[in-house]
Amino acid sequence: MQTSIDAPAAGWRDGKKHLWPLALLVPVLPFLAYALWQAGAGPAAWWLTPAVVFGLIPIIDVLLGDDGENPPDDIARRLQEVRYYRWITFLFLPVQYAALLLGAWVWTRGGLGAAGAAGLVATIGIVNGLAINTAHELGHKRETVERWLSKIALAPTGYGHFYVEHNRGHHVRVATPEDPASARLGESFYSFWPRTVWGSLISAWRLEIGRFRLRHRSPWTLRNNLLNAGLMTVVLFALLIAVFGWRLVPFLFLQAIVGFSLLEAVNYLEHYGLCRRRTATGRFEKVDPRHSWNSDRVVTNVFLFQLQRHSDHHANPLRRYQTLRSFDVSPRLPGGYASMVLLALVPPLWYRVMNPRVLAHYGGDLNLANRNPRAEARLRRRYGRPAADTTAVHAA
């Protein structure tokens, strides 16, 4: 099998090839924070990871700008098979788990103080939150090893149901009112969070129950992906508590909440307000590049395995991160995910920035957006009454 991707005849090279190992930087940061803490930097050392992820990376993103380069189709087919890119995702997991062990040891050792403890929870939560993105990349693949590694990456956050719901739920219902992971126009992140956390769990369980019913088998088996993934979390937490003691329990649960909340913040911005139309048959139209918010910010794309090229991911879920493409027709975020997550935490600013973009995407017609029914009156007052002849749907 030919794996060279230099392609001099096509004039294309993978300009990010030597940047991809930077995706491993975030799980390494806790060790640098620990070194600084030991050197006398105090509690502030444990805020290094949040500062890099939500401070330094957005700044570098702005300085470097966008990269809209796409691999030609013939190169992309060969690029898919280059194992170098696969090993980058594999290596994330041992570093992730090493960071978790470091966090557990530091927590139970004591001496952090309130500020240091909060910083440590945020640090390990961010690492394990980004690991959910690694699990996302691995979980979409056909190879059995990668699918099991996906569940292992999800174990520290207790979010194993993501493996089921994302692949078989979200990808089917994306950008519709039926999807708990698609945020609605006028819906704040704080309203979206409980709806998606609970709704995704319930949906995943129903999907697995349905899978076993089709085979006339009981779902109460370790072949149930929710149960075997959940068991991984139980075993992991039990082992950590056995080693470090019961003092570790608050740390484990708090870092898990931070981790999966980071995932849900990304879910919030990926499809905010976007909606697929119903066809004449009553079914939703096929997913296309118009149904995901995209960004070509270079640095954030490296750290997130090009998750920001989200439209191509939904169109081609099996496509590996190094071959994902950018589309001109996709709606664009004004920044990378790191900066947009911060914006999402301040609803008035989020609405001011994003609501006009959603409306512009639909030519000013509110009915074409996936709207929050609780915000319907406010949206009409602010942006005008929706046209009466549209056939778009909104949440019931």
Q: Helices (DSSP H) in the chain: which residue ranges? A: 25-36, 48-51, 57-64, 73-79, 83-109, 113-139, 144-154, 162-165, 171-173, 189-214, 225-244, 249-270, 298-303, 310-315, 337-344, 347-361, 376-383
pLDDT per residue as tens digits for the range 273-318: 999 999 888 899 999 999 999 999 988 998 899 999 998 899 888 8
Query: Per the structure, how many domains does the chain have?
Result: 1
Report yes or no on 13 lying in a domain: no
Report yes or no on 147 lying in a domain: yes
Domain encompassing residue 229: 20-273+285-376
* pLDDT of res. 13: 66
- Rounded to an integer, the average pLDDT of 368-380 is 93
Report yes or no on 235 lying in a domain: yes
pTM: 0.91
Which tokens belong to 224? 């149930």
Report yes or no on 386 lying in a domain: no
Q: What is the rounded CA–CA span in Å between residue 310 and residue 332? A: 11
* pLDDT of res. 390: 43
pLDDT per residue as tens digits for the range 158-168: 999 999 999 99
Report yes or no on 45 lying in a domain: yes
Strand partners, 297: 66
* pLDDT of res. 255: 98
Residue 388 scores a pLDDT above 70: no
Distance of alpha carbon 106 from its chain centroid, rounded?
A: 27
Report yes or no on 352 lying in a domain: yes
Report yes or no on 15 lying in a domain: no
Report yes or no on 5 lying in a domain: no
Q: 215 or 185: whose pLDDT is higher?
A: 185
What is the residue whose two structure tokens read 């075997």? 228
